[in-house]
Amino acid sequence: MTLSGPGVDKHPHIFEAGEIKGVKLPNRSIVSPMTRTSATEDGIVTDQMAEYYARFARGGWGMVMTEGVYIDLKYSQGYTFQPGIATDEQAESWRKVVDAVHAEGVPIFMQIFHCGAINQGNNWVEGSISASAVTPVGEQIPRYRGAGTGFQTPREITRDEMAEVVESFGAAARRAAELGFDGVEVHGANGYLPDQFLTVHTNLREDEYGGPIENRVRYHCEVMQSVRDAAPDIPVGVRISQTKVNDLTYVWPGGDDDAKVIFSSIAATGIDFFDCSAHLGLDHVFGTDHSLSGLARRYSGLPVFANGKLHDPALAERAIIEEEGDFVAIAKGALADPEWPQKIAAGAEPHGFNPGMVMPFATIDCNEAFWAENPTGIPAAPIEARDGVES
């Protein structure tokens, strides 16, 4: 939908149409991936999830990215009630989401995911795998039904399993393309499996996947090559970050040199975009004049999504003007107000984020009725009573 209003004149870059490998985005605002743990226990997408995603499309976003979707019936699932795309039934259940978002004329991309060691709920297998057998730091996330305790120690992934996971990422991308998803993003960030290879303290390997950054980025490249080959006709990209869900302090030890190797070698697999997440998307990194997303643009030459507290439209506009990103991905601001783009365009004030909003999963409509009922943003009724799921 083309938006108009005083906010469009004030923030023209946000509302300029964009394109990624032929997929047209009506504006530069993207719903950033958000895990909602609202599928059935065996990973089937519910009608409520379709309605949840359709709300963003109606709200005027340029593109909707799904939550992280697991890719096999082995070790990829990280959260109970997470949706999958590993079986025909799981894949088919996404069709209603694609149709609902497309009905509003908005493209939808799927984020595909392997948790590696960050496993706090897997319906299919016991245990977890990672680049090396290193117990993750931090604790399981209670809001995603984690135990609030530490993680189990993974076993080192075998070479056969590495190849299988690469294949499964490709198979998931192929399924997504066949379902009508307009693009696919691999979750290569935030401490999940590919990022466990990139990160020095979770990758103690002595083979060609461990040691210098050229080796540690190899698994990302293999995954992206597989996804590229499996989905040649739609845009494919990867999310990259320094920090992790369980470690907000990690910084790439090689700084700008690491950034150069990471972004240029992954770009060489022929992908179409990078999505860079950071706590503050505009913060300059490694003593350079660029944010992480700015460095991704510089070293890859590809379109980049900037992310991290860009729901203030002045910051989102700045990100694009200063060439730190071509698109802005917004998470908490989108959760707080699915109509963020429409409201910004109209010069109106979107609802603000409140941590309580993370709890309602995909099943609570944070719409005008929700706000009338819950003026603080925190739902009055407990989550168990509202979605019928025990935490």
Ligand X SMILES: Cc1cc2nc3c(=O)[nH]c(=O)nc-3n(C[C@H](O)[C@H](O)[C@H](O)COP(=O)(O)O)c2cc1C
In terms of CB distance, is 282 or 331 closer to ligand X? Answer: 331
Using CB under 6 A as the binding rule, whether residue 344 contacts ligand X is answered as: no
Question: Which whole-number Å values give the CA distances from 17 to 45, 62, 106, 326, 372, in the listed order?
Answer: 30, 8, 12, 11, 33
Using CB under 6 A as the binding rule, whether residue 343 contacts ligand X is answered as: no
Rounded Cα–Cα distance for residues 89 and 84 (Å):
9
Using CB under 6 A as the binding rule, whether residue 341 contacts ligand X is answered as: no
Q: Which of 53, 75, 192, 209 is catalytic?
A: 192
In terms of CB distance, is 66 or 374 closer to ligand X? Answer: 66
In terms of CB distance, is 200 or 358 closer to ligand X? Answer: 358
Contact region with ligand X (CB under 6 A), list: 28-36, 225-233, 344-352, 362-370? 28-36
Question: Which whole-number Å values give the CA distances from 296 to 160, 212, 247, in the listed order?
Answer: 31, 20, 22
Reported as half-sphere exposure (CB side, CA atoms, 13 A), residue 388 has a value of 5
Using CB under 6 A as the binding rule, whether residue 342 contacts ligand X is answered as: no
Residues 6+ positions from 148 with CB-CB distance below 8 Å: 139, 140, 142
Using CB under 6 A as the binding rule, whether residue 67 contacts ligand X is answered as: yes
Using CB under 6 A as the binding rule, whether residue 84 contacts ligand X is answered as: no
For helices 218-230 and 255-267, what crossing angle results, to 10°?
30
Candidates 130, 307, 342, 374: give the one binding ligand X (CB under 6 A). 307
Contact region with ligand X (CB under 6 A), list: 56-64, 132-140, 252-260, 330-338? 330-338
Candidates 27, 130, 140, 190: give the one binding ligand X (CB under 6 A). 190
Q: Compute the least distance from the CB of residue 324 to ligand X, in Å.
A: 14
Burial of 32 (0-12, 13-18, 19+ CB in 10 A): buried
- Of 175, 196, 185, whose CA–CA distance to 78 is shortest? 196
Q: Compute the least distance from the CB of residue 277 to ligand X, in Å.
A: 4
Q: What angle do CA 329, 137, 121 make, to 5 degrees?
A: 70
Are residues 213 and 137 in contact, defined by beta-carbon separation less than 8 angstroms? no
In terms of CB distance, is 260 or 332 closer to ligand X? Answer: 332
Rounded Cα–Cα distance for residues 328 and 62 (Å):
10
Q: What angle do CA 60, 338, 143 make, to 5 degrees?
A: 145
Tokens 């309602």, residue located: 360
Candidates 311, 318, 343, 351: give the one binding ligand X (CB under 6 A). 311
Size, binding site for ligand X by CB under 6 A: 21
In terms of CB distance, is 68 or 194 closer to ligand X? Answer: 68
Are residues 93 and 44 in contact, defined by beta-carbon separation less than 8 angstroms? yes
Binding mask 114-153 for ligand X (x = CB under 6 A): ----------------------------------------
Active site residue 75: no
In terms of CB distance, is 201 or 279 closer to ligand X? Answer: 279
Task: Pull the structure tokens for residue 348.
Answer: 């109106």
Length, in residues, of the chain: 391
Residues 6+ positions from 16 with CB-CB distance below 8 Å: 27, 28
Using CB under 6 A as the binding rule, whether residue 80 contacts ligand X is answered as: no
In terms of CB distance, is 218 or 332 closer to ligand X? Answer: 332
Q: Compute the least distance from the CB of residue 112 to ligand X, in Å.
A: 10
Using CB under 6 A as the binding rule, whether residue 240 contacts ligand X is answered as: no
Candidates 3, 8, 30, 34: give the one binding ligand X (CB under 6 A). 34
Using CB under 6 A as the binding rule, whether residue 32 contacts ligand X is answered as: yes
Q: Compute the least distance from the CB of residue 213 to ligand X, in Å.
A: 22
Q: Compute the least distance from the CB of residue 135 to ligand X, in Å.
A: 22
Q: How many CB atoms lie within 10 A of CB 367?
A: 15
Residue ranges in contact with ligand X by CB under 6 A: 32-35, 67-68, 111, 187, 189-190, 239, 277, 307-309, 311, 330-333, 358
Active site residues: 192
